[in-house]
Structure 1
Amino acid sequence: MYDSICHPDDFSWKESDFPGVTNKVLNTNPNTGGLTVLTRMDAGAEIPAHHHDIADELVYVLEGDFIENGQHYRPGTVFFAQAGTKHGPHHSQHGCVVLTQFSKTLDFVLD
């Protein structure tokens, strides 16, 4: 049996610190602080280059065009980054939605 079941429609999009970027936190692990998050980037939105000192990160492109450090990626692409790995900037030309899993408490450090 699963510990938790949810559907994204049960959550509201919340504004982030970056214009045109909204999030839905789908799950928080009470033991590790890890998160599962849907992120929506509007056309032209950007998340600046950064890293996470604590959390490993997995990103799965669900829809749209996700641009990582100037390279375009399509739905189905998966990214992995261990804690401390610099990544980004992230852009979207036409808009996108990604699913992100953080292994531990999310810390966001601009590079």
Structure 2
Amino acid sequence: MSTLLSDAAACDDNAGARARITLPYPRFQRLGPIPWMPWVMDGVDYKLLSVNGRNGGFTCLLKVKPGVAAPIHHHLGAIEVLVMEGDICYDTDDIGRPGDYIFEPAGDIHQPRTANGCVLFCVFDGPIAGLAGDGSIAGIVDYKLMLEMAERDGVAAHVHR
């Protein structure tokens, strides 16, 4: 018997624990059919997966075209990024490639770029502020804006709220 099946059998022996299982189980999302939509930065498309009204954050996929440098921006909350395809860097001595992970703490200000394009799985733990040339805030992207964009673009039905 496989470990998974033997674990399930063990649960059957423990009615108290089994009664606490949350039903219905969450469902996997098929992301392939969801179209990529233009994001707030030129050369970047998004697929919104979830929003978090408690911290203003959101989870999404970002698809960045080759040669794109993001505008300088300020993370008001931390962000976790998993590189799914392509490359991304802040410094050419440290290039993220498929399977690589980075944690950017709240307060970071930077300007990532990609040579060949990339697809990123991103968990924003709060809003992100784009900065103008003089360092002032040019705009803020938070869960409300992301949800408004997804609703406008007709790709919000699957978004976890």
Deviating more after overlay: 39-48 vs 10-19: 10-19
| Equivalent of residue 57 in structure 1, options 65, 68, 79 | 79
CA-to-aligned-CA distance 1:35-61 (integer Å, 9 cap, x gap):
1110011111121232122x2110111
Q: Distance in 1 between matches of 2:104 and 2:27?
A: 25
Greater relative contact order (CA < 8 Å, ≥ 6 in sequence): 1
The CA RMSD over aligned residues, in Å, is: 2.1
Q: Distance in 2 between matches of 1:36 and 1:10?
A: 18
Q: Give the structure-1-normalised TM-score.
A: 0.80
- Shift in Å at residue 78 of structure 1? 1.0
Q: What is the match of residue 101 of structure 2? A: 78
1:1-111 maps to which residues of 2 (within 5 A)? 3=26, 5-53=28-76, 55-70=77-92, 71-87=94-110, 89-104=111-126, 106-110=127-131
Q: Distance in 2 between matches of 1:23 and 1:44?
A: 17
CA-to-aligned-CA distance 1:58-99 (integer Å, 9 cap, x gap):
011111111223442211111112211123x22111111011
Decide which structure has greater strand share: 1
Seen in structure 2, the aligned counterparts of structure 1 residues 82 and 27 have a Cα distance that, compared at 3 Å, is same
Decide which structure has greater helix share: 2
Aligned residues: 108
Q: What is the match of residue 144 of structure 2? A: none
CA-to-aligned-CA distance 1:5-62 (integer Å, 9 cap, x gap):
4232242212123221111111112443321110011111121232122x21101111
The structure number with the bigger radius of gyration is 2
Q: Distance in 2 between matches of 1:66 and 1:56?
A: 18
Q: Which amino acid letter does the alignment assign opposite residue 107 of structure 2?
A: G
Q: Is the 8 A contact 1:11 1:26 kept in 2?
A: no
